[in-house]
Structure 1
Amino acid sequence: MPRGRYLRHDPADGTPLGEERFQCAPGPTGWRYVSRLDDPAGRPAETVDLTLDHLGRPIRLELGAGDWRVRGAALDGVTWVRLAATGGEGTEGNTAARAFTGASPAFLVATAHLLRLTPAEPTARVRLVALTPPVLAPRTHDETWTLLGTETHATDSGPLTVRAYQVDDQQTGERGTVHLAGDVVLAAPGIELAELDSPPSAGMPAPAMTEE
């Protein structure tokens, strides 16, 4: 069960956004990720609790940021409820997207696991619902993911396979490169892995790949 710490910053200007302490692991249903982001002053800023099924679909999402909370799942596309942290009636939403995305590294792992790109089929376009701090207002957008390649590195705990992806936002034209090892993000725009106490879980986020 990997536990560690990500440093998050604004990918546009490098402004520090805080430290996200996380733990994640495969389980009977698929994969679960739990984290808390503290801002640079040490105040709680965001929480993530995401569970995927074995196909990479979000079967439970609980996301908190600022004065807002979102609960969601894959149901007739994706369905969610957004409500104020102080309580009251929430606002429900549903759209024909495949999953959620957001600022946390959890969503990069989740999307890669959902798409399962291979050298034979290295590119896929996916519709996602973005939930961005601090207000978590849902925004539907399309991304194109391309598997750029894989590298295997020898480590003290055994071979470590790293996959590099190019991610293109089809609405803004923004492009970034994401490096994943199992269920851990090694580097991505606005994300830096600062600490990891055990190796990434094997088998995540994509099945073993073979060249044809």
Structure 2
Amino acid sequence: MPSGRYSFHDTHDDTPLGEERFSCAPGPAGWRYTAQTFGADGRPTGSVDLTLDSLSRPLRLELRYLGWQIRGGSAAGLTWVRSHADDPRLLHAREGHEQAHAFAGRSPSFLVAAARMLRLNPGDSSRLRVVTFTDPVLAPRTHDQGWTLEAIEAHATDNGPLPVERYRVSDLDTGDEYPVHLAGDVVLAAPGVELEDLDTPPNPWRGSEAKPVDPDE
């Protein structure tokens, strides 16, 4: 069960934005990722708890950031409830539903989840409809992403060759493109994200017989 630490920084001027201390592992449902998040000053800011089912769909998501909270999952698309800690009776909670495939946000777990769902072969591309929760109030934004698996390269390690997947991801609304490098269920590099520590090798996951997502469904 890999545990480690990601750091976040501004993609324009490299200003530190905080970090995420995580653990992830295959589980009875499919895969689970848990993390605690911290600001640049080291103070706790929230948490991430994402569970995928056997088809890499978001079975359950609990996302917290500075008092805001999202609870969601898959149900004829994606459903979620957005609330705040100052409203324990949920009087002002807002429900959301979209015909989308995956959740997205700052946490690197969402990149792993998307890649698992698509299950691309080298050279393949696909479109993914996502609901992104943006800091600092976890406001939802629904949009389309384009994913291309450019190559899988073997990197030598003390434990043998490590397959590293190199993706090109596009925001189809804005035209922004960026690279994402994954090894199993760990993000090695992405814009604004650095893997600082990792205590054990990533869990391998390619080779599963799960059906990839159909973007037209």
Please indicate the TM-score interval, normalised by the length of the shorter structure.
over 0.9
SS in structure 1 opposite 2:155? strand
Comparing both structures, which one devotes a greater share of its residues to strand?
1
The percent of aligned pairs where both chains have the same amino acid is 57
Find runs of 4+ consecutive structure 1 residues off by over 4 angstroms. none
CA contact (8 A) 2:33 2:109 kept: yes
2:7 corresponding residue in structure 1: 7
1:158-177 matches, within 5 Å, as 158-177=160-179
Partner of 1:157: 159
TM-score, structure 2 as length reference: 0.91
In 1, Cα distance between equivalents of 2:61 and 2:141: 16
RMSD: 1.4
Specify the SS of the correspondent of 1:72.
strand
Deviations 1:64-107 (A, max 9, x none): 01121000001110000000122233211101001100001000
SS of 1:59's partner is: strand
Query: 2:120 and 2:12 mapped to 1: Cα distance?
Result: 28
1:207 Cα deviation after fit = 2.8
Asked if residue 113 in structure 1 is aligned to residue 112 in structure 2, the reply is no
Alpha-carbon distance, 1:154 to partner: 2.2
Q: Tell whether the 8 Å contact from 1:9 to 1:191 is kept in structure 2 after alignment.
A: yes
Matches within 5 A, 1:172-183: 172-183=174-185
Letter in 1 for 2:184: G
**1:139-177 CA distances to partner (integer Å, 9 max, x unpaired)?**
101000000101112211122100000000011111110
Question: Which sections of structure 2, spanning at least 5 residues, go unmatched?
Answer: 209-217
| Aligned residues of 2:122 and 2:152 also touching (Cα < 8 A) | no
Aligned-partner SS, 1:155? coil
Corresponding residue of 1:126: 128
Distance 2:13 2:176 in 1: 14
What is the CA–CA distance in structure 2 between the aligned matches of 1:15 and 1:74, rounded to whole Å?
A: 35
Partner of 2:53: 53
Aligned position for 1:65: 65
Q: Is 1:197 the equivalent of 2:199?
A: yes
SS at structure 2 position matched to 1:130: strand
2:21 corresponds in structure 1 to 21
Q: 2:156 is paired with a residue of what secondary structure?
A: strand
Name whichever of 84-93 and 174-183 sits farther off.
84-93
Moved more, 129-138 or 152-161: 152-161
Aligned to 1:37: 37
Q: Does the aligned pair in 2 maintain the 1:116–1:207 contact within 8 Å?
A: no
Question: Aligned match of 1:100 in 97, 100, 103?
Answer: 103
Aligned length: 206
CA shift at 1:13, angstroms? Answer: 2.8
**Matched residue type, 2:134:** T
What is the TM-score with the length of structure 1 in the denominator? 0.94
Q: 1:93 corresponds to which letter in structure 2? A: G
Whole-angstrom CA distance in 2 between matches of 1:166 and 1:64:
28
In the alignment, residue 106 of structure 1 is paired with which amino acid? S
